[in-house]
Amino acid sequence: MAVETEKLRDYRGIVTDTTAWDGLDLRPDDVFVVTPPKCGTTWMLNIVMMLIHGLPVPDAGGSQHAPWIDASFRDSAEIIAFLDGLDRRRCIKSHTPLDGVKYGPEPSYIVVYRHPVDMHFSLRAHAANMKHDWLDYMFEGDDRAGFARFLTAPLTDMGTDDLSLLSLHQHYTESKKRVGNGNVHFFHYADLTRAPRAEIARLTDLLGITLAPGMLDAITQATSFKAMRAATERSERRFHKETPFHDLADFYHSGSSGKWEGRLTADDMEAYEARMAALFAPEDVQWLNWGTGIAD
């Protein structure tokens, strides 16, 4: 059954081309993981796909199972043909703000956010691990110069390809506009770290999935940072010439927070706090920085 949808605009950048959405017919039970880069996208994809399968599956969230629909460097027609041929529930990845995706009232849209400074430094490490230099210009200079660019870079039609605080603001704003519809579900990297079992249980309920006894604990264990990195370290694809990374395991770089410590000055963080206060309401600043603070 096709879903009636809207798509309000296109984003086209170095790694994104949202015209790919135009050829995709949505299904009511589709799950879209739509996050800014380096906010826990692959982590959430693994969780969703294991929930769909109902058991831990190695590399469950990989592109061969949950494809990135609007990646400009991939064959969108091939991806859509794959998705159209699936007889299971589909999970689809995007980094695009929700005004640039096909949005309908029935599918589920999972959005994940992270402390913006951690996101920035994780992106810097991600760019350094890439074989391509697509993102290098955004991280020229030392840590402080790159961070200044993150705080002040203007918004363009590239969407989250801008890799800036303004692009994060745009993504978050478009998600919040639709939260009242009941099918846009917010998660935070810090909450997934502090209380993974509780957050996975919440997602299980939101997606209407029933797990066999003991499977929630098994999926929680299988999607821990340590377990996902270990699985990649054992993978024969780790150093494969066709992967876009020098070391695929370093896709899971550290999983830690507070990445700015020792890399930025007090003045840098004051500038960040002032910029956040100018862009977001106080409650949004608190949540974007720290999540809800829940604990198991």
Q: Which of 1.10.10.10, 3.30.565.10, 3.40.50.300, 3.50.50.60 would CATH assign to domain 18-290? A: 3.40.50.300
What are the pLDDT digits (tens) for 215-224? Answer: 999 999 999 9
Q: Do residues 15 and 134 lie in contact, with contact meaning Cβ atoms separated by under 8 Å?
A: yes
Domains of the chain, by residue range, sit at 18-290
Mean pLDDT of 120-129: 73
Give the other-Cβ count within 10 Å of 287's Cβ. Answer: 19
Separation between Cα atoms, residue 296 and residue 292, nearest integer Å: 12
> How many whole angstroms separate alpha carbon 289 and alpha carbon 117?
9
Q: Which two tokens mark 28? A: 């009511």
Q: From CA 145, how far away is CA 189, in angstroms rounded?
A: 26
Report the run of H or E that residue 203 belongs to, with start and end. Answer: helix 196-206
Measured in degrees and rounded to the nearest 5, phi and psi for residue 12 equal -135, 120
On the question of pLDDT at 141 being above 80, the answer is no
Neighbouring residues of 175: CB distance < 8 A, sequence distance ≥ 6: 34, 97, 98, 109, 111, 184, 186
Q: Taking the model in full, what pTM does it have?
A: 0.88
Whether 126 shows a pLDDT value over 90: the answer reads no
Question: What pLDDT does 246 receive?
Answer: 43
